[in-house]
Amino acid sequence: MAPPAKTSRAEIVAAARAIIAERGVAALSLQQVAAAVGVQAPSLYKRFDDRAALLAAVHDALLEELAGVLAAQTLARPAQALAAMGRAYRAFAHRLDRLYPLLFASGGTPSPAALAALAPLMTTLDTLVGRAHSLPAARTLTAFLHGFVTMELNASFQMAGSVEDAFDFGLTAVIRGVIGGGADADAPAVDVARE
């Protein structure tokens, strides 16, 4: 006779997420997760291949949330939308906090979900800098955003100045730089070509 299931994939993911949010990924053990859902550790292997698969499930959930967060920032004027997405991304990262590193943990498998999450950013850049430059522009912007929030969540900004101001300054600068580089309208103020 089949005993009723004591837990579920969703419950396990939620428990793992809560533990990571509180103590970080490194501190997550399957035994803790199992205890949190009222089961013994080996039972988790009924629903997940291994620890990595459980982390991948958390990762997927976060990516889906990110997609929603960015999609909500599609405004009429694309430059405004871009800035709004940047700020929304940072706010999302702050909300995740110790969960944030999981958002980027590429388990080796390239995920279509990751591309989908960034789709609103890509289309906004398409209209703003043109298809020819939207990919490098997107990479520049995401690199800045990922780098900035990683550094602030790691407390890597050690000097005194306001991190808030630095983000506003940086986001504005990156958007300006990326827009200026997309069109060949005006020559760059300073030539930084290889020598």
Listed residue (174, 4, 154, 182) closest to 93, CA to CA: 154
Q: Are the CB atoms for 92 and 69 separated by under 8 Å?
A: yes
Residue 187 contacts which entry, its own copies, DNA, none (Cβ below 5-8 A, type-dependent) = none
Name the residue among 107, 103, 79 with its Cα closest to residue 93. 103
Question: What H or E segment, with its residue span, contains residue 195?
Answer: none
Please report whether residue 136 would count as binding its own copies according to CB under 8 A: yes
Q: Which long-range contacts (CB under 8 A, 24 or more apart) does 185-189 make?
A: none
Among 24, 45, 119, 147, which residue interacts with DNA (rule: CB under 7 A)? 45
Residues 3-42 binding DNA (CB under 7 A) are: 3, 5-7, 28-32, 39-42
Using rule CB under 8 A, residue 194 touches its own copies: yes
Using CB atoms within 10 A of its CB, is residue 103 exposed (0-12), middle (13-18) or buried (19+)? buried
Shortest Å, Cβ 147 to its own copies = 3
In the list its own copies, DNA, none, the entry touching 136 (Cβ below 5 to 8 angstroms by class) is its own copies
Is residue 114 a contact point for its own copies (CB under 8 A)?
yes
Q: How many CA atoms lie within 13 A of 9 on its CB side?
A: 13
DSSP at 5: P
One of 3, 4, 42, 108 touching its own copies (CB under 8 A): 108
Among residues 33 and 138, whose Cβ is nearest to DNA?
33
> Residue 17 and residue 59: Cα distance in Å, rounded?
9
The nearest distance, CB 75 to its own copies, in angstroms, is 8
User: Any contact of residue 108 with DNA (CB under 7 A)?
Assistant: no
59 binds its own copies (CB under 8 A): no
Binding site partner of 79, from DNA, its own copies, none, Cβ cut-off 5-8 A by kind: its own copies
